[in-house]
Amino acid sequence: MPELPEVETVRRGLEARVVGRRIERVEVGRERTVRRTSRQAVIDGLTGTTVTAAARRGKYLVCALDSGDAVMIHLRMTGKLLLAPAGTPRPPHSHVVMTLDGEELRFVDPRTFGEIVVFDPDRADIEVPELARLGPDPVVDGLTSAVLRARLAGRSRPLKAWLLDQQRVAGLGNIYTDEVLHAARLRFDRPAGTLDARRIRAMRQAIDDVLAAAIAAGGSTLTDNQYVGLSGEPGRYQYQHRVYGRAGAPCPRCRKATIVRVPFAGRSTFFCPRCQR
DNA sequence: AAACAAACCTGTGCGC
DNA sequence: TGCGCACAGGTTTGTT
């Protein structure tokens, strides 16, 4: 579910409302959420610590603790972090609950693909190896045309597959790749290595513009309401989607063709067959 | 290197 | 109303 803009919205919520606070108590219901280590490792690693920073890389949240450890949280498809007054009813699938001075930070995740792991940053390469493998994050690291060009060179994969690969660029998922490719006027199935300098610049600009607008709008909340921010507030970027979920609608740029939905890489892809090449 | 399918789970929406 | 199927924002793993 959540891609870079949604995770960034959650990160900002954590920074504003959780950083600086002490985790008094930790409850782990479903052990699957903490499968990387164990229920006890996560309870022991979090209890009594104060959250000192909230960072993000791609779709990964990484919070620093005053113990020297860090906690990685990945929401995957249906994970949510919700901050609510202690004592209020917990939503179904509240697998991990952290109590902080009258409030509860709840990790809610119906499909249980998400996970939480407390790790030693000095051993990050072993304990969360995927973090080190992530490509540049367009917001955290910035992304230049030169970097894009170097990484795209010689690649035969379709552009969309390339953009979805977190080891190439970190943070884009199914919604935002489609939005970026439409903004850059590029077809999803064009081989990644065939972009000339002008198209590379267009794609870089599109990545920046789409992500900035989406973050400013608090991310995208689709009709199933799966994604909401820390306080349960929905995002608003779905109202600005130009192609995602809009099959059959006229293309908002050329207004002549109709947005098409095709299966690609096992999921839906939306694009304008007229203005994306 | 890259394409594809399957796996991990649960919920929802749709056609019949 | 009820049933069965398709599908869903992500990532890893195994197979061609």
Spacing of A205 CA from C15 C1' in Å: 37
Spacing of A175 CA from B13 C1' in Å: 20
pLDDT per residue rounded down to tens, chain A (277 residues): 699 999 999 999 999 999 999 999 999 999 999 999 999 999 999 999 999 999 999 999 999 999 999 999 999 999 999 999 999 999 999 999 999 999 999 999 999 999 999 999 999 999 999 999 999 999 999 999 999 999 999 999 999 999 999 999 999 999 999 999 999 999 999 999 999 999 999 999 999 999 999 999 999 999 888 899 999 999 999 999 999 999 999 999 999 999 999 999 889 999 999 999 9
pLDDT of residue A131: 96
pLDDT of residue A226: 85
pLDDT of residue A240: 96
CA of A220: nearest nucleotide by C1' is: C9
pLDDT of residue A23: 98
Is strand B within 7 Å of residue A114 (CB)? no
Is A15 a catalytic site residue?
no
Which residue is closest to B9 in terms of CA–C1' distance? A111
pLDDT of residue A250: 96
Report the footprint of strand C: residues with C-beta closer than 7 angstroms. Answer: A 1-3, 58-60, 74, 76-78, 111, 113, 130, 164, 166, 173-175, 220-222, 224, 226-227, 266-268
Cα-trace Rg, chain A: 20
Spacing of A174 CA from B5 C1' in Å: 18
Q: Which chain C nucleotides are covered by protein, judged by CB under 7 A? A: 7-12
pLDDT of residue A261: 94
Is A267 a catalytic site residue?
yes
Spacing of A128 CA from B6 C1' in Å: 24
Q: Which chain B nucleotides are covered by protein, judged by CB under 7 A? A: 1-6, 8-13
